[in-house]
Chains A and B, each alone.
Chain A
Amino acid sequence: MSEPRVLIVDDHQLFRAGVRAELEPLLEIAGEAGGVEDALDAIERENPDVVLLDVHMPDGGGVEVIRRAATLSEAPPCFLALSVSDAAEDVIAIIRAGARGYVTKSISGDELAEAVRRVHEGDAVFSPRLAGFVLDAFAGPAPQPETELDALTVREREVLQHIARGYMYKEIALRLDISPKTVEAHVSSVLRKLQLSSRHELTRWAAERGLDL
């Protein structure tokens, strides 16, 4: 698969320039945008594969971009959230809006490029902290045991615990004696639950960021 074309959306010009400088040797940069309207214009014009999306921006932030991009085209790009915030409500809100991953801005250039490729291939990208939030949110008993969306399987829990401990997917596969594809399948399944489950913790975190789901 060819290298994905990336659009960088962040309201801090300095930060955009920094990410661009780091990613340019590794990936193809489709462009930059400094706000919600700019981002939507750029998505229509450039049709990028992956959008690196800041969570906090004026006029609604990343959540608004994802929501309106979905109405713009049949096949919107993949979104990877990139933020300094590590508050649960920010992380969960943007994931529930449709982002396929969440990384913090302290991530290294190589790791960021890897995360972009992963999202482009349809996988989910969980930072250790996001894995921690998910384990926390799914810790209590499921409110509606009949829906599989409200609980994690034992395997999914193991995979998340390893992500929280700082393991890469390949290392997790080795340790749990399963294939890397299976690890990815588990993470994607967790992402789906994260987006669709009606668990109280998730809806509350999302509601704190004004996301009506």
Chain B
Amino acid sequence: MTTSDASTGVLRRDRQEGWIGGVAAGIARRFGVDASLVRLAFVVATAAGGVGLAAYLLGWLVIPAGDSRPTRVRIRTGRAAVEVALGTAFLLLAVLLTFRALGIWFSDAIVWPLVLIAGGGALIWRQSMGEREPRPAPAERTPEEIVRTESRRAVLAISRTGLGIALVVAAGIVFLQATGALGAARDVLFAVIAAVVVLGVIFAPWIVRLVRSLTEERAARIRSQERAEVAAHLHDSVLQTLAMMQRRAGDPAEVAALARRQERELRAWLSDRPAPGKSGTLAGALEAAAADVEEQHGVPVEVVVVGDRDLDAAHEAVVAAAREAMTNAAKFGGGSPVDVYAESSDARTQVFVRDRGPGFDPDAVPADRRGVRESIVGRMERHGGRARVTSGTGHGTEVELVLERS
């Protein structure tokens, strides 16, 4: 239970963090201490004459419930339900023991059944009234997997409810045993059990079949939804492009460009990456730049990225310089494919842009040629990096961009 964020100033019961009414958690949040300490204080005060209990109940009545930190939502788990049940049972036990200590006598025939009923009842209520746990997005999983986890969850929920019921039943048995009425109750119980078994045998196959067909139907529905999504995507993208290509069949360059662009988009979609240009990572930005250059100059640009990272200002400069290098490679590389390789680690980021064109002598480039000097070398230096151009006649050209992390 963290109290890292600033206390809010107003005292509110924190029902999401709390075990019972959220009183202790609320106080803990207000004063920035660990909720366990506050709870311990309540327990000690309860043991010492019942003051703690009275204070707790008073707090529950008086302190308004408030929302927990909006960013942190405590997921209701099975453990939370069990904690609530235990909390309720112990609280009640504390009350009864306190009364007994004050001289108001209870027989054990009442104390233990009441405690069991409280615990079991809290478990059942919590289970049936609690919110559904949030489900993971179905897109990442196959229908069979979804159905499997859902049914596992259902089994857990049933087992918790079952525990609650068992506690309550145990309470009844303990009470009957203690008051000596168990003998009579046993006959009734046998009759009930016999009836349940008979009905169970009659209806079991039907129930099993029903559950199974529901599960199958569910899986089929999820699958058909997925198929519809794929179909919709293919309509918007691939079929459109194919139609365009048929109409432009006379222009091979344009057909090739259309095919490349569609291939890029489809690959991004298949591998669940954001479409080029819609991503804030180095790989996404380089892919987008490559796609643009490819479209403008009709030269294939192949991008390989090892160790992706998020973009910051310096890396945006790296991408801009790389784009310039790709444009140069596409323009002067004699139509050869352009290879882009980026490797990013904690220590540094390196990008290589290479063509297999005729190459040139870097020393012979006139000083007023701004392309390389300004937008590649200058840009990298302004952002604390460096750029190097390696070229030789007949060996193609490679631009290396390096950005060391400070």
**Once bound together, how far apart are the Cα atoms of A171 and B390, in whole Å?**
14
B295, CB-defined interface residue at 8 Å:
no
Contacts of A132 in B (CB 8 A): 304-306, 341
Q: Evaluate whether A136 and B352 lie within 8 angstroms (CB atoms) in the complex, with A87-B270, A166-B341 already known.
A: no
Contact flags (1/0) for B125-166 with A, using CB distance below 8 Å? 000000000000000000000000000000000000000000
Decide: A128 and B306 in contact? CB cutoff 8 A.
no
A129, CB-defined interface residue at 8 Å:
yes
Decide: B339 and A165 in contact? CB cutoff 8 A.
yes
Contact flags (1/0) for B336-353 with A, using CB distance below 8 Å? 010101010100000010
Decide: B307 and A166 in contact? CB cutoff 8 A.
no
Q: Which chain B residue shows the least CB distance to A106?
A: B300
A-B contact pairs, 30 of them (CB 8 A): A86-B267, A87-B270, A87-B271, A106-B300, A128-B304, A128-B341, A129-B302, A129-B304, A131-B304, A132-B306, A132-B341, A135-B306, A135-B343, A136-B307, A139-B306, A139-B345, A161-B343, A164-B304, A164-B339, A164-B341, A165-B339, A165-B341, A165-B354, A165-B398, A166-B302, A166-B339, A166-B341, A166-B354, A166-B356, A171-B395
Decide: A164 and B356 in contact? CB cutoff 8 A.
no
B interface residue numbers (CB < 8 A to A): 267, 270-271, 300, 302, 304-307, 337, 339, 341, 343, 345, 352, 354, 356, 395, 398
Residues of A in contact, count (CB < 8 Å):
16
Decide: B341 and A161 in contact? CB cutoff 8 A.
yes
Contacts of B398 in A (CB 8 A): 165
A165-B341, A165-B352, A166-B356 are known; give 6 further A-B pairs, CB within 8 A.
A129-B302, A132-B306, A136-B306, A164-B304, A164-B306, A165-B398
For the complex formed, measure the closest distance between the CB of B353 and the CB atoms of chain A, giving whole angstroms: 9
Contacts of A128 in B (CB 8 A): 302, 304, 339, 341
**Once bound together, how far apart are the Cα atoms of A129 and B305, in whole Å?**
9
For the complex formed, measure the closest distance between the CB of A11 and the CB atoms of chain B, giving whole angstroms: 18
Query: What are the 4 A-B residue pairs with the smallest beta carbon separation, nearest first?
Result: A166-B339, A132-B304, A165-B341, A164-B341
Q: Which of B267, B339, B341, B345 has the most CB of A within 10 A?
A: B341
Contacts of A129 in B (CB 8 A): 302, 304
For the complex formed, measure the closest distance between the CB of B59 and the CB atoms of chain A, giving whole angstroms: 51
For the complex formed, measure the closest distance between the CB of A111 and the CB atoms of chain B, giving whole angstroms: 10
For the complex formed, measure the closest distance between the CB of A18 and the CB atoms of chain B, giving whole angstroms: 14
Contacts of A136 in B (CB 8 A): 306-307
Contacts of B302 in A (CB 8 A): 128-129, 166
Contacts of A161 in B (CB 8 A): 341, 343
**Once bound together, how far apart are the Cα atoms of A167 and B305, in whole Å?**
16
For the complex formed, measure the closest distance between the CB of A63 and the CB atoms of chain B, giving whole angstroms: 19
Q: Which of A86, A132, A166 has the most CB of B within 10 A?
A: A166
Q: Which chain A residue shows the least CB distance to B270?
A: A87
**Once bound together, how far apart are the Cα atoms of A166 and B305, in whole Å?**
13
Q: Which chain A residue shows the least CB distance to B352?
A: A165
For the complex formed, measure the closest distance between the CB of A199 and the CB atoms of chain B, giving whole angstroms: 15
For the complex formed, measure the closest distance between the CB of B93 and the CB atoms of chain A, giving whole angstroms: 49
**Once bound together, how far apart are the Cα atoms of A135 and B300, in whole Å?**
23
For the complex formed, measure the closest distance between the CB of B336 and the CB atoms of chain A, giving whole angstroms: 10
**Once bound together, how far apart are the Cα atoms of A186 and B96, in whole Å?**
78
A 134-164 contacts with B by CB, 8 A: 135-136, 139, 161, 164
Contacts of B304 in A (CB 8 A): 128-129, 131-132, 164
**Once bound together, how far apart are the Cα atoms of A129 and B356, in whole Å?**
18
**Once bound together, how far apart are the Cα atoms of A132 and B339, in whole Å?**
12
**Once bound together, how far apart are the Cα atoms of A164 and B352, in whole Å?**
9
Q: Which chain A residue shows the least CB distance to B266?
A: A84
For the complex formed, measure the closest distance between the CB of A175 and the CB atoms of chain B, giving whole angstroms: 9
Q: Which chain A residue shows the least CB distance to B302?
A: A128
